Structure 1
Amino acid sequence: MEPWRINLMVLWVGQFLVNAGMTMIVPFIALYLSQDLGVQGEHRIALWSGFIFAANFVTSFIFQPLWGKLSDQYGRKVMLLRSGFGMAIVFTAMGFATQAWHLLALRLLNGTISGFNPAATSLISSSTPKEKMGFAMGISQSGTVAGTILGPLIGGILADTIGFRYIFYITGSCIFLATLLALFLVREKFDRSLAAKMPKVSVLSGLRELSLTPQLPALFTVTLLLQFAMISPMTLMPLYVQKLHGATENLAFWAGLVSAVTGLSNMLTAPFLGKISDKYGAHRVLTFSLIGAALTLIPQAFVQNIGQLLAIRFLMGLCMGGLLPSVNSLIRSYTPDGMESRAFGFNSSTNALGNMTGSVMGGVLAGFIGIEGLFIMSGILLMLNMAWVRSKLYGKPSTERQHKSA
């Protein structure tokens, strides 16, 4: 088997295990605080839950560009191993927390050292032949989404059987196993002597240099707005489902299904749309996926029952399956040689920023415009972003930078 295919398979498993492990406990932080850490009172639990959820994204937003810079200097694999083993230790330590601030501090630390996904994406992109880039990015995305979908389900089953603390130990073990697989099976061709000769620039200087390529800011914004659109209505979704469902019976099941159906269709179509992008151009797949995502977000504000919401969110996932693989493929194409990991690091920062602003601003804006307004606003923002992306990318595939296959 070709080395790039081995890397893709191993890192798919790694991304699945890491994302499944990380999402096993996040939906149940409030219950962990109240049942295991002694936090009492609905208001206090809500405050601590919000701070702890956002903490990971705050430090991740700050530090991802730094890890991207170091990755370009010392190699992608070493950064992946640093992140993987570090997160395994931190998640295991969360199971020993006895106070809420312990969990907050560990989430801040986890965001600081995290970076498995962008490092894996950078490794895959650097070893994959250019003509297979879209397919590889789609497969990679499916592993991430599959782990994110199944993580909460597995976590809910484990919470009822063994308790919350043991979930942290299992999560740490999953991440440790994923990192071991990468240590022994992933191969990277990285010339440190050549990298050492590259000009040394600061993180801010690197951002300014990347910004000179006009396509990259537009691509980073796609990632930010996509995460904002996904996260901003999340906390209010159970209430919206209850309003449509008209009863509290099986409410948790229906709310979980509404969230999971988007990820399921996303996972199914990402590899297929990746192949389409290899044949017809990632710029075209990205444009039409943005249009589809925007047009399926807005109708969610006008559905009359839970069946309609499920159907539209399934369609939205089909469209979103082409977004992140196309973005990653195009970032690789337009980024100057030697700065690939840095570009993926900045993209990971915008991902964290989208999660952070979505979780905070979603609750604030919903008080004024409701969850229906969030759907409409997110759709409009994605449509405006599509116009920006189209002006930079559409019909200009010949300007994409050429890279040698690693």
Structure 2
Amino acid sequence: MEKKASKKALGIIFLIVFMDLVGFGMIIPLSTYLAKDLGASPLEIGLLMTIYSLMQFIFSPFWGKLSDRVGRRPILLLSLFGSSLSFLFYAYSTELWMLYASRALAGIFGANISTAMAYIADVTDKDSRSKGMGLIGAAFGMGFVFGPFIGGIFGDIGRSLGTEAPFGLNFSALIASGICFLNFFCAIKILKESLTPEMRQNLPKRSSRVKQISRFVTKPLLGSLLFTTLLSTVAMAHMESTMFLFVKEQFDWSLSFASYGFAYIGLMMVFTQGYLIRKWMPKYGERKLLVIGLIMSVIGMAGISFTTGVWSMLVVQTILALGYGLLNPSLLGSISLSGEANEQGQLMGVNQSMSALGRIIGPAAGGFVYQAIGKTSPYIVAASLFFLALIFIAKNYSKLPNQGLSRK
């Protein structure tokens, strides 16, 4: 019964995260084009991503710590409601500062992923932890498959309804807000609390955000894993903040065609994190998949710089998507398994902060080197960061947890 309850809980949290990321995925391809229409430079487009992550960096440990005390459910509900409001504001944005304000609001309430990770840690045992974390990656992938596709459809519908906000391209953000409101009401009905009273009683003493980060980062193994989160996120943010500009200027791809490419990456991540990771984790364990994922990420990211068209881009993006799809759940599982049971909320909050810090640095840095050095430079820098992360992991390889490996 306990195993069935755990599977049901995982299914519910997957559905909630998936619906939330569909809404999020709907506006990602549109942000570059909306900001450009409002006169933004490549650096300013990168800063649009940075402001979201800056707010998430500030607030994520607070939400993680609060979820350890009041439970995962209320924090997830509050996060979903805040996200829906931010998309509504985005839909009515007619100036660049309004886009920045709406993304800042979204970042403040961006506790859904770290809290969902802590929820999964609550309902899984150590042997199935990494596979459970893979569901978050699968939800990301599916959200980024359906989100851009749905966003493109409603963007066309919005243009047929008018050109003034909330119509035109902004109409997709209005639909995203509606999806998040629906998700919020569904979560009220079906989401149950995962944090038991016994776990709450054993919580560690309160500490400041800086102390939380320094406490985990200064532990040799956890520090290496958290820095790997930081480096890999900075690397991916270099690509995410410049890719639409790159394919537009290099290959003259339209928004809809570029969105199909974005959806393809999501599809490959769904396949990797929803299927391959569940098949390969018992066979190879976290250690090997973490290293394989990093190596493939280095190759795929560097390869973007040498693409000459659709087919070469397809090959390198496949390698990158598969690599990052293996890296992410293996890394999340390793971090969770390296921490104590009564500090999962804080640890996932700190991990999310490292990710947010990477998304503060990455988009601005990617936009800057794109303008200052050249169109292919963000991908060479990103590949170098993945390689540096690989060095961190290689030095601690024997100490990495490997509970996902089947003992049969």
What range describes the TM-score normalised by the shorter chain of this pair? 0.7 to 0.9
Using the TM superposition, give the Cα deviation of residue 196 of structure 1 relative to its aligned residue in structure 2, in angstroms.
4.6
Unaligned stretches of 5+ residues in structure 1: 401-406
Letter in 2 for 1:259: F
2:50 is matched with 54
Change (3 A) 1:88 1:293: same
1:270 aligns with 2:266: no
1:218 is matched with 224
1:323 is matched with 327
Residue deviations 1:201-244 (CA, integer Å, cap 9, x gap): 22222223222432222222222222322231345435644676
2:153 is matched with 157
1:120 is matched with 116
Change (3 A) 1:87 1:244: closer
2:70 is matched with 74
CA distance in 2, matches of 1:172, 1:227: 26
Which of the residues 222, 231, 239 maps onto 2:237? 231
Using the TM superposition, give the Cα deviation of residue 269 of structure 1 relative to its aligned residue in structure 2, in angstroms.
1.0
2:161 is matched with none
2:164 is matched with none
CA distance in 2, matches of 1:267, 1:33: 29
CA distance in 2, matches of 1:94, 1:242: 24
Using the TM superposition, give the Cα deviation of residue 70 of structure 1 relative to its aligned residue in structure 2, in angstroms.
1.1
Residue deviations 1:335-370 (CA, integer Å, cap 9, x gap): 123211111112112222222222110121234542
1:135 aligns with 2:131: yes
CA distance in 1, matches of 2:47, 2:248: 26
Q: CA RMSD in A?
A: 2.8
CA distance in 1, matches of 2:369, 2:137: 30
1:404 is matched with none
Which of the residues 20, 23, 28 maps onto 2:22? 20
1:201 is matched with 207
Letter in 1 for 2:239: P
Which of the residues 95, 102, 107 maps onto 2:103? 107
Q: What is the TM-score normalised by the length of structure 2?
A: 0.85
Q: What is the TM-score normalised by the length of structure 1?
A: 0.86
Using the TM superposition, give the Cα deviation of residue 31 of structure 1 relative to its aligned residue in structure 2, in angstroms.
5.1
Change (3 A) 1:257 1:89: closer
1:188 is matched with 193
Q: Is the 2:50–2:363 contact (alpha carbons within 8 Å) kept by the matching residues of 1? A: yes
1:7 is matched with 9
Aligned to 2:243, the other structure's residue is in SS state helix
Using the TM superposition, give the Cα deviation of residue 394 of structure 1 relative to its aligned residue in structure 2, in angstroms.
3.4
Count of residue correspondences: 391
Q: Is the 1:23–1:152 contact (alpha carbons within 8 Å) kept by the matching residues of 2? A: yes
Using the TM superposition, give the Cα deviation of residue 161 of structure 1 relative to its aligned residue in structure 2, in angstroms.
0.6
Aligned to 1:321, the other structure's residue is in SS state helix
Letter in 2 for 1:237: M
CA distance in 2, matches of 1:316, 1:46: 23
Using the TM superposition, give the Cα deviation of residue 77 of structure 1 relative to its aligned residue in structure 2, in angstroms.
1.8
Q: Is the 1:244–1:306 contact (alpha carbons within 8 Å) kept by the matching residues of 2? A: no
Task: Judge which range, 14-23 or 361-370, deviates more.
Answer: 361-370
Unaligned stretches of 5+ residues in structure 2: 159-166, 404-408
Using the TM superposition, give the Cα deviation of residue 156 of structure 1 relative to its aligned residue in structure 2, in angstroms.
1.7
Change (3 A) 1:179 1:392: farther
CA distance in 2, matches of 1:15, 1:116: 8
